[in-house]
Each structure stands twice: as structure tokens, then as C-alpha cells.
Structure 1
């Protein structure tokens, strides 16, 4: 199928995410877990440029360690580009240039943001005009966090996390992010959670996890203190068991004015909720002075969007 190309080069930006609430159900027969999450897109972004090419190629750089990021067809962004091409019958390829700022294997969905950006970029580059509903359907095929990176804002995700419903969030929430050297494997963290839950002294998860209504009320009210009282991550115990060194930063953040400190997703990135932008800045300075990398971000922010052509 031939298309009249809409542009020669397209730049798309997609956000990383935080799970401000993450409940994990019992392991299912297929080895996966049902989850219930409140996602918030935050102002730490992945940038993707797409331009015409005879084949599917990728170049990766960034301000984070990219040594573990595949630069071939294993990369989720390349898979996303191929899905769009297959969907519209495009017979050429695309060259993707990715500049990463979200920690790799850090529980903030950086790879999923790359994939979402690639979907939007290829749709615009090739003049496909697939529409948001069709792009969402393609995103679901790529992984649980890709649809949210496409949507952005604040949302509730259930099932595998990809059944999304937008959630109203008033105002701005300020976070301090502390990345960590060395990622954590998401499957390994889930498997370790199952091991911990096999202990009879630890309560088992219910079959149908749900987001605490108090989390949604706090988001609607724009109340960081109320959100801090309700935030939780069922994967945190497993992540800290695998990486006990993370406790030092968590304890320092809690002692230095953070309203709450949590492991982001499957970790090892830590996220501290602050009461205001000023409080976040003070916390960032304290953590930095203690030798930790600390980044001040805010949410919610939009999902993957075209920045320029």
C-alpha cells in the first residue's frame, strides 16, 4: 500500500510513569498476576525521532545507562514501528533515534514510553492517521505499560494493567526520584513476591486486586498528604528483599521531609512524594548531599505526543 508521507522526520516525546498505588493479586495459571494500579505520568521523558528508511534500524543514546538496552528487533520501539507498518501495509522501514532519560529497568516504564512514542511517530511519519483507539489497540499488544505511556495523565489500570480508565487528578504532585545503579528484572521481582507470599506468616493476595478509593479521592482533591497516606506498592517487599541497599535512601527520604517514599513499580527506582515544589527541592538537595542522584519531577503530564516535524 502506498501512502503520501506527512513528514520527513518526526519528534515524539513520551513520559515515564510512577505507580502511586500498586496492588498485585495471586499468581494465575498462566504465570501472570492481575494487578490494580493508579498510574501517574511524570516529567521525565523519552525522546524519539523517526525518519524514513529502507529497513528498521535504531540508534540509542541518553543521560542514563543504556548498556542493557537492545538496539535490534528485541527493542520494544522497533516492534512498535513494525506493528504500525504491518497495520497499514507500509513496505518500507524507519530509522528510530531514541534519547533516553528514564532509568533503564527502573520501574518507570522507559521502554514502554519508547514504544508509545514510536507508535505515534510512525503514525505521523507515514501519514497513517490511525487514531487514538487503534493506536491503543496496538499498544496493548506490546505490553502492559505501553497504553498508559500513550495516554499519560493519571489513570487506573486493572487486569494486566492495560485495561485503563482515566482518573481525574487536580493540580500538581511533586516527586523526587532516586535512580539506582543496576536494574531489577520485573519477572524476578514478581517471582520473589510469590516466594514471600508462600510464607504462612504473610497474608496472601486476593484474587481481584482493586485501587483504594482513598487514592482516587486524594488525586481528585489534589491533596499530596492524603495520597501519601494511601500510597502503596505490593512489589516493594520483594524489591527490597532483592536490593536491601535501597532501604538507606528510603529511610533518609522519610526522615528528610518526604510525605511518602515508595519503590517505583518493580524497582529499583525510588519515588518520594513531597508536599510542594519547594519541599521537593529541599528534599532533592538533602538526598544529593548524601551522595544519591535525585531528580525533581512532577505529574500528571500528557502522554506520547508529537513535538515537531
Structure 2
């Protein structure tokens, strides 16, 4: 196979994510951690257009600062395209145009969403028809969050976070997110967590990480108040240790009426759960008036889809 089977461009949109619950086990011999996460895809999206090309190239723009996003083979989306080509035996290339709206290095999986979108877009552009299971296998090779960006909705992730099981969620959950200037390196946050855990008061539990039953019950009920009682992120202490300035905004969101507030993933984006759309609007307005960049999003939403 050498020529694209679809003329023109393919446009795919993939969502960012929030970790509603994130329990981190102790560091393993290989330096990684087992985790248990409850993911929710939210209405802040990455857009990827795939066009026929003889080579693998990429262009990046967006409503967020993209200056730190690599435009070479370090980029997950470009690596995703190469994986599809290798799997399908396709000998051509592709040009990926990425328009980013998820904060870069913000703990919301924007790069993973790009990769998921690239998998779907290249599969459609080249007519390779790999199908969901094979795309999920390729996604797992790219990182723990890429399979969820393909799936969307709500899910439980275990192992390294890529062993996914869909989680039943009713209704709509409204969030206000506050992106912070400057990203946080995920490896740096994990290293800081390991340092903090040398203190006996915050040492990790010895058992395999699991998602609390209360989180799953709250998602099934569709009641934000119930979910607010169970949101948790083991990486939050480490992220706040590296970025103590985030604590002020975190306290402000709670003072302004959010049901719960937390660092999203490895940070530094903050996420505030609210009771309903009017409550989210109020929290967004108050945070904005206090000088914070605040966005209202909701979930769950579908994973990577062709538009």
C-alpha cells in the first residue's frame, strides 16, 4: 500500500481528561508506579487534521501556549502516525495539523489526545481499517493516557493506567478548570512524590492501588455532591510542593462555591467540581474576576471522533 485511499483531509477531535480519583502505589524496581485512576473525558478538545504527504510532518498552533510542544518525532501524534503506517504496511507519509486547546503539560492529557486523534485520522485517511481493538493496542504503546483518549466517557484505569474498563456514569458533571502558566513535568512530580513519601505520615498503602467504590457509585448516581466526597489525587501534594502558588487558586475556588477542588493529574491545571452549569458559571466568573484564567467544561464526552 503506497497511495492514500481517501482524498483531501480527515479531521478528528479528541478530548482532554480529568483524573477524578488517582491513587499511586509505591515506586517499582523499574522506576514506574502502579496506579488506579478514574478518568473522565471533558469538553476541552484537541483538533487534528491529517492530509496526504510523501513524508511525516507536523504543524502546531492553538489557543494555548504551544512553544514547548515538539514538532519532530518526539511528538506523540507523529509517533502515532508512524505506528499506523508500520502496522498497515503503508509506505507514504502524512501531514498532521494540530490545533491545541488543552493546556500543555497541564495534567489533562492534551498530548495523548493528539496521539489518539492521529491514530484515528491516519486510519481513516489511508483506509487501513485497523478497527478499535488494534488502535487500542497501538495507543497503549504510546502512553497510559492515549487509550483513554480513544475511548472517552468515564473509565477506570489500573496497572500503569492503561488497563481500562468503562465506568457507568449518568448525567452531566460540570467543572471549572484553571490552567496555570508554565507546565509541570510528570516525571518531576512523581520523583517529588517519592521524596515526600519517605516521611512516614504520607507513605503509600502497601496494597495494590484501587479506585474507591464511592467514586464509582457517585458516577453511577450522577450526583456531583456525592462525587465531591471522593475526589482524590495522590500527586497533588507533590505538585503543590513544586508549585506552591497553586494553593491560593485552589483555596479561592472552594471559597467561591466549588464542591471540590484538586490538581488535575500531575498538574499544574486545577479542576473544580460544581453542582450544575449555573454554579459552574458563578465559580468561573468569580475566579476570573480574581485574576485567574478559568474555563467551564463538562463531562463525560466521547473519545476521539471523525468530524
TM-score scaled by structure 2? 0.99
1:66 maps to 66
User: Are residues 1:223 and 2:223 paired?
Assistant: yes
Partner of 1:46: 46
Residues of 1 paired with 2:266 and 2:204: CA distance?
A: 19
Correspondence for 1:189 = 189
Name the counterpart of 2:34: 34
- Per-residue deviation, 1:6: 2.6
Task: Decide whether the 8 Å contact of 1:108 with 1:264 is kept in 2.
Answer: yes
Q: Report the equivalent of 1:83.
A: 83
2:133 equivalent in structure 1: 133
Structure 1 counterpart of 2:149: 149
Residue in 1 aligned with 2:252?
252
Distance (whole Å) between structure 1 residues aligned to residue 279 and residue 126 of structure 2: 45
Quick one: distance in 2 between partners of 1:200 and 1:301?
Answer: 39
Matched residue, 2:261 = 261
* Deviations 1:32-58 (CA, angstroms, capped at 9, x unpaired): 000000000000000000000000000
- SS, match of residue 201 in structure 1: helix
The alpha-carbon deviation at position 4 of structure 1 amounts to 5.9
Per-residue CA deviation, residues 147-166 of structure 1 (Å, 9 max, x unaligned), is: 00000000000000000000
d(CA) in 1 for partners of 2:200, 2:220: 37
| Cα distance between partner residues in 1 of 2:202 and 2:49 | 47
Work out whether residues 232 and 262 of structure 1, in 8 Å CA contact, stay in contact via their aligned partners in 2. yes
Say if 1:42 and 1:301, in contact at 8 Å, map to a contact too. Answer: yes
Task: Report the Cα distance in structure 1 between the residues aligned to 2:282 and 2:84, rounded to whole angstroms.
Answer: 44
CA pair 59-4 structure 1, distance change in 2 beyond 3 A: closer
Q: 2 CA distance for matches of 1:31 and 1:283?
A: 39
Please say if residues 2 and 92 of structure 2, whose CA atoms lie closer than 8 Å, have aligned partners that are also in contact.
no
Query: In 1, are the aligned partners of 2:4 and 2:52 still within 8 Å (CA)?
Result: no
Give the match for residue 298 of structure 1: 298
CA contact (8 A) 1:7 1:126 kept: no
Per the alignment, residue 164 of structure 1 pairs with 164
Q: Per the alignment, in what secondary structure is the counterpart of residue 254 of structure 1?
A: helix
Structure 1 unmatched ranges of 5 or more: none
CA-to-aligned-CA distance 1:209-247 (integer Å, 9 cap, x gap): 000000000000001001000000000000000000000
CA distance in 2, matches of 1:89, 1:154: 33
Consecutive unaligned residues of structure 2, counting only runs of 5 or more, are none
Measure how far apart 1:207 and its partner are: 3.9
Q: Equivalent residue of 1:138, what SS? A: helix
Is 1:26–1:207's contact at 8 Å kept on the other side of the alignment? no
Using the alignment, how far apart are the partners of 1:161 and 1:279 within structure 2? 31
| Superposition misfits of 4+ residues, deviation over 6 angstroms | none
Structure 1 counterpart of 2:175 = 175
Q: Is the 8 A contact 1:7 1:124 kept in 2?
A: no
Question: How far apart, in 1, do the equivalents of 2:223 and 2:39 lie?
Answer: 16
CA contact (8 A) 1:15 1:46 kept: yes
TM-score (norm 1): 0.98
1:143-188 per-residue CA deviation (whole Å, 9 max, x = no partner) reads 0000000000000000000000000000000000000000000000
How far is the alpha carbon of 1:3 from its aligned partner?
Answer: 5.8
1:206 lines up with 2:230 in the alignment:
no
Say whether the 8 Å CA contact 1:3–1:127 is kept in structure 2: no
C-alpha RMSD over aligned residues? 0.8
C-alpha distance in structure 2 between counterparts of 1:205 and 1:42, whole Å: 30
Q: Distance in 2 between matches of 1:303 and 1:7?
A: 24
User: Which residue of 2 is the match for residue 234 of structure 1?
Assistant: 234
The 8 Å contact of residues 3 and 128 in structure 1, kept in 2 or not, is answered as: no
